[in-house]
Chain A
Amino acid sequence: MAGPDERWAVAIDPAVCIGSGICAATADRYFHLVGGYGEVRESPVAADPLVIDAAESCPVEAILVRHADSGEIVAPTP
C-alpha cells in the first residue's frame, strides 16, 4: 500500500472520457466535470485509495494513475 509521502500523477484522457460523471461522484475531491467531461482538480496528489476507486470505476478507463516519481502505473489494473 502507498506510503505516507507517496505522490501520484493523475490524468484523464479527454479523447476517451464519455462524461459519465462517475469519477466526480466517487471522488469529488480529485475530479470535477468541466463542460460535461471529467477533469482532475490537481496533479500530482498525495496517495489516496479514493483516486484508485475512481480510476477503477471509470467505464472507459479514461483515468490513469501513476507514481509521480517512477511513472509506474497504479491504476487501472489490467
Chain B
Amino acid sequence: MTIVLGALMTVHAYPFRADRLDLDPKYAELRAGEPLSRVQLPFGEEAWLATRYQDVRLVLGDPRFSRAASVGRDEPRHMPQSRVSGMLSMDPPEHTRLRRLIAKAFTARRVEALRPFTLGLADSYVDAMIAKGAPGDLVQDFAEPLPAAVICELLGVPFEDRDRFQVWSEAIISTTSLPPETIVEYYQNLFGYIATLVAKRRAEPEVDDLIGALMRVRDDDDGRLSEQEMVQMIGGLLAAGQETTTSQLPNFFYTLMTFREEWERLVADPALIPGAVEELMRFIPLGVGAAIPRYALEDVAFGDVVVRAGEPVLVSLASANRDPDVFEEPDALNIQRRSNPHIGFGHGAHHCVGAQLARMELQVALTVLTQRLPRLAPAVPPQELTWKSGRLVRALSALPVTW
C-alpha cells in the first residue's frame, strides 16, 4: 500500500468561502476525493483537514488526538492572537476535573427546569415587538436578549449588567472584527467583572446557581478548582452562552425563510420543532471554518494517508454534517429526517457543554415565534441583509422582520 504523507500534498488556502450560510462546494470535492487534505489557515502552522463524518468523529473522540498537545505550538488559527487557554486546551483526565464541575448545571434535566422561565422571556420579547410595531429586528429584539437572560439565570450573573458583558463577549469569537489589543482588553474586562461578582457573592454562597455551586466546590478547598479557573470558566460560559445561540437563532429563521414551506409546517404542527432544531443544527454551517485543531500523539492512518505524531488536524463539522455516507440527501433541509446523528455540537470530550441548553432555547424560540407570529417574514430582500465579518461564527448584523 502506498503511504501518503502531508509534505507531498497540495496545500489549500483555508478557510474556504463562507458567504451567508452557504457551504463552499470545495468541502464536497474534498470529501469525495481527498478526505484528508492539507490546509493553511491565515495564522499558524499547516494542518490536516478532515471532511468526512467518520474521520471527524474519530479525531474528536479518539484519545490519540489531543488538545493539550497544542500548548506551546504555533496552532493553526483564524486570528493573529493565540487562544486563551482553558478547558479547550486540556485532555482527560485533567479536562474531566473541570468539565464535571460545570456539566451538572447543563444536563438535560437542569435545562428542562429552565424551560418555563425561557418560554416566559421569549413571550415577553414578542410582546415588546408587537407593542413597538413592525418592522422589528429579530437580532436585537429577540435573539440577543433571550440567550443572555437564560445564561445569566443559570450562572447567577445579573442581567442588568448585560450592556457591559455583551460587548466584551465578542472577544471569544472575534478573529479580525476587533483589534488584538481590544480582544485582550475585553477578556480582561470580562474576567475582572466575574472576579468582582464572585467576590460579592461570597456573602451568599448558598444560592442555587452555577456560581454558587462552583464557589461551594472552591471553598471545600480540595484542590479541584482554583480561583482563576473558576473565573475563566464562568466568563467563558457567559460569553459562549450568548454568542453562539444569538448567532444561530437568526440563522435558523433565515434558513426557514429560504425553505418557507418548512416554516409553514412548524406553524401547523409544533410537535415537529425538536426535530427541526436538530436538522437546522445539521444543515447550517455555523462556523466560518474548522478551528481548534487536535494534535496526533502517535501516527494514525486514514486509508492511505498517515497523520504523523505531532501533526495538527482540523475537522469540519459542517462538512461531516453533509456527508452523503451518513445523511440521505445531505444538502436538503428535511425537518422530518429520520436518522440525524449530526455533530453540530461537536463530539467527544469537548462536546458542547451547553448543547442541551442551546437545544431548549432554540426549541422555545421556534415555538414562540411560529405560534405567536406565524406570518413572520423578512422586511427586506435577502440580498439587502448584512452579515457580520471577522468572527468565527456566521451571524446576521440585523434581521428586519414584519408579521
Contact = CB atoms under 8 A, between A and B. Distances in A.
Interface in B311-353: 341, 345, 347-349, 351, 353
Contact of A59 (B61, B92, B348, B355): B355
Nearest to B349: A25
Nearest to B53: A36
B93 A59 contact: no
Interface of B: 57, 60-61, 63, 92-93, 96, 99-100, 103-104, 106-109, 341, 345, 347-349, 351, 353, 355-356
Contacts of A27: 92
A56 B348 contact: no
- Please report whether the interface of chain B is mostly helix, strand, loop or mixed according to DSSP: helix
Interface in A34-70: 36, 50, 53, 56-61
Contacts of B349: 21-22, 25-26
Contacts of B353: 59
Contact of A21 (B93, B104, B108, B347): B347
A30 B63 CA distance: 14
Contacts of A60: 107-108, 356
Interface string A14-34: 000001111011111000010
Closest A-B pairs by Cβ, 8 of them: A25-B349, A20-B351, A21-B348, A25-B348, A21-B61, A60-B108, A57-B103, A21-B347
Nearest to A56: B100
Interface residues of A, number: 20
9 contacts: A19-B341, A20-B345, A21-B351, A25-B348, A50-B93, A53-B100, A57-B100, A58-B107, A61-B108
Given A57-B96, A59-B355, A25 B63 contact: yes
B326 to A, nearest CB: 9
Contact of B107 (A28, A36, A50, A59): A59
A50 B351 CA distance: 18
A5 B212 CA distance: 36
B103 A56 contact: yes
Interface of A: 19-22, 24-28, 33, 36, 50, 53, 56-61, 76
Nearest to A55: B100
A61 B104 CA distance: 9
A27 to B, nearest CB: 8
Contacts, number: 64
A50 B96 CA distance: 9
Given A21-B57, A24-B61, A25-B92, A59 B341 contact: no
B41 to A, nearest CB: 25
Contacts of B63: 25, 28
Nearest to A19: B341
A13 to B, nearest CB: 12
Nearest to B351: A20
B61 A25 contact: yes
Given A21-B351, A22-B349, A53-B93, A59 B57 contact: no
Given A21-B60, A25-B61, A33-B61, A59 B351 contact: yes
Contacts of A56: 100, 103-104
Contact of A20 (B96, B104, B109, B355): B355
Contacts of A24: 61, 348
A32 to B, nearest CB: 10
A8 B353 CA distance: 27
Contacts of B356: 59-60
Nearest to A78: B109
Contacts of B99: 22, 26, 57
Given A22-B348, A56-B100, 16 more contacts: A19-B347, A20-B351, A21-B61, A21-B349, A21-B351, A22-B99, A24-B61, A25-B349, A26-B93, A57-B103, A59-B108, A59-B353, A59-B355, A60-B107, A60-B108, A61-B107
Contacts of A33: 61
A25 B93 CA distance: 9
Contacts of A22: 99, 348-349, 351
Contacts of B57: 21, 36
Contacts of A36: 57, 341
A22 B145 CA distance: 30
